[in-house]
Structure 1
């Protein structure tokens, strides 16, 4: 069906004004012209939208549905001129970043920090499964993917990667659990505490499970989360203690009232920058990579 938006606009105007005459007067048109165009819209939709009521018209049930959607369309349309003018006069650097499930949001923020102060930045962040994000990257719908692993060895995708971060894991918790762990050596104290962990889809979770076994720990897991920021929130509310990369933990004590229980020197979170070779020269992506190299 081809929808004539001029006809839709006049119908919407009639509905708002409560009559054909008032809508015609507002637009400087003949009443017959407005009536004909509204009837043309009704024919294209296959339903009556207006019905006579006294000296005016009212919406039918079908008309109410059409009017609600038209209201949304024309409300959005009112912003087009402002947005076009802004885009034409203010330089914008668009940066579309994919974040694979399970990455520490705090560590990601630290990696993106070198570009966040750029007044030209228009940042778009997408979170999802690795395969989907890499497909979007290969199609150049994303400029960068941050993942817990390097690019797959798939020549057809044309992807390259490098490790930006390898940060030791720190265990954090609210005061109630930090006090409960006091007096016991780390990491054995974790046996007595409720643990909040990333779900099994996260690359870090596999390394955590191996680390528990290596140290003879029997973890008491009370929660598993796909979103690391949500995990930190539940920890802050007292549900348990959780692991986070040292790079992402720098602001936690100040912002969340959390304390460090201990650091795992033999367990790290890795974050890799994956880029399409055709898009290697994005200035903001290069700034992120250069800052990670020197940092």
Structure 2
């Protein structure tokens, strides 16, 4: 029987995922020469070329693409096997590593995660915030158990992962009390030329609001654009402008920032997703998030 060296296969998979030997060597904490040797050994064992040069980088050959797909399945199943057999170290809290997309509202993220802290078994929660593609890469190599996002997985990303819709929420407009009282009258027309605080243009909600402004021929006076949703809300609390949030977290935002409801925009929906390496959710923490989200994201 021909035996496959899974150590060599792992090096190949990381190079294919990262797009270069140098980047793979950084991820795996070895020298580029070590990575190259492992790739050559795998190609020799299989009797095929897996990569070809393209400029300064590497791209997969047709056979390399096929091997990459098999490798992704193999390592995903291996992770599932380990999870099933081991569960977690005896007597230790359940480790739950969550990635949070950097532009996702943190109040929403906490509301999604909170049920895991009330599970019957003790959980040690580790939250990491970052760029979506980086978080998905960490998910693929099992540094994270789930990624929470306001967008589904991009099908162009070369990674075996699955998007699970947790729920959706209408959007409400909030503002400091005096500003809110003035703009409640004649809503939503009152929002034309009103002072606005908006997410930056890499945010899904921002794109939805821009379309809504265009549909209504509104001309917002943009007082600020924020990547950090907490800073946006602080500016809203100070009365700098009005802002939009998911209706599901309205009460929390009103309490935390002392703002009031101006009106609701039913035509805009915010959707939230759990990105996992498994087609079927299995980690107890991810299952708890999914089940609670059905009630909380309405």
Q: So what's the TM-score if we normalise by structure 2?
A: 0.65
2:193·2:218 contact (CA, 8 Å) conserved in 1?
no
- The structural deviation recorded for 1:150 is 1.2
- How far, CA to CA, are the matches of 2:135 and 2:128 in structure 1? 8
2:192 matched to 1:186? Answer: no
Bigger mean CA deviation after superposition, 150-159 or 260-269? 150-159
1:82 — aligned with what? none
Q: Give the deviation of 1:240 after TM superposition.
A: 1.2
Cα offset for 1:113? 2.2
Matches within 5 A, 1:22-41: none
Matching residue within 134, 143, 153 for 2:145: 143
Superposed CA deviations along residues 133-192 of structure 1, whole A, max 9, x for unmatched, are 111111111111111211222585110111112101100111121122143x22211124
Aligned equivalents of 1:210, 1:135: Cα separation in 2:
31
CA distance in 1, matches of 2:293, 2:137: 25
8 Å Cα contact 1:143/1:279 also seen in 2: no
Map of 2:132 onto structure 1: 130
1:57-96 pair list within 5 angstroms: 91-96=92-97
SS in 1 for 2:190: helix
> Corresponding residue for 1:247?
248
In the TM superposition, residue 252 of structure 1 has moved relative to its aligned partner by: 2.2
Any unmatched runs of 5+ in structure 1? 1-87
State whether residues 97 and 143 of structure 1, in contact with CA within 8 Å, keep that contact through their aligned partners in structure 2. Answer: yes
Contact 1:110–1:247 (CA<8 Å) still a contact in 2? Answer: no
Q: Deviations over 1:29-69 (max 9, x none)?
A: xxxxxxxxxxxxxxxxxxxxxxxxxxxxxxxxxxxxxxxxx
Question: d(CA) in 1 for partners of 2:254 and 2:291?
Answer: 28
- Three-state SS of the structure 1 residue aligned to 2:272 is strand
Looking at structure 2, the residues matched to 134 and 199 of structure 1 have their Cα atoms a distance apart, in angstroms, of: 22
Structure 2: gaps (5+ residues): 1-88
Deviation at 1:116, TM superposition (A): 2.5
Any idea what SS the aligned residue of 1:221 has?
Answer: strand
Report the aligned-residue RMSD.
2.2
C-alpha displacement at 1:283, in angstroms? 0.8
Equivalent position of 1:290 in the other structure: 291
1:185-209 C-alpha deviation (Å, 9 max, x unpaired): 2221112421111101111111111
Moved more, 201-210 or 276-285: 276-285
The 8 Å contact of residues 235 and 242 in structure 1, kept in 2 or not, is answered as: yes
User: How far apart, in 2, do the equivalents of 1:111 and 1:269 lie?
Assistant: 14
- Secondary structure of the corresponding residue to residue 277 of structure 1: coil
SS state at 1:165 partner: strand
Residues 184 and 263 in structure 2, CA contact (< 8 A), matched pair in contact too: no
Q: Which has the larger radius of gyration?
A: 1
Match of residue 152 from structure 1:
154
Q: CA deviation at 1:278?
A: 8.1
Q: Secondary structure at the match of 2:115?
A: helix
Which residue of structure 2 aligns with residue 104 of structure 1? 105
Cα distance in 1 for partners of 2:256, 2:165 equals 28
Alignment of 1:114-125 (within 5 A): 114-118=115-119, 120-125=122-127
Shift of 1:294: 5.1
Alpha-carbon shift at residue 244 of structure 1 (Å): 0.3
Partner secondary structure for residue 266 of structure 1: strand
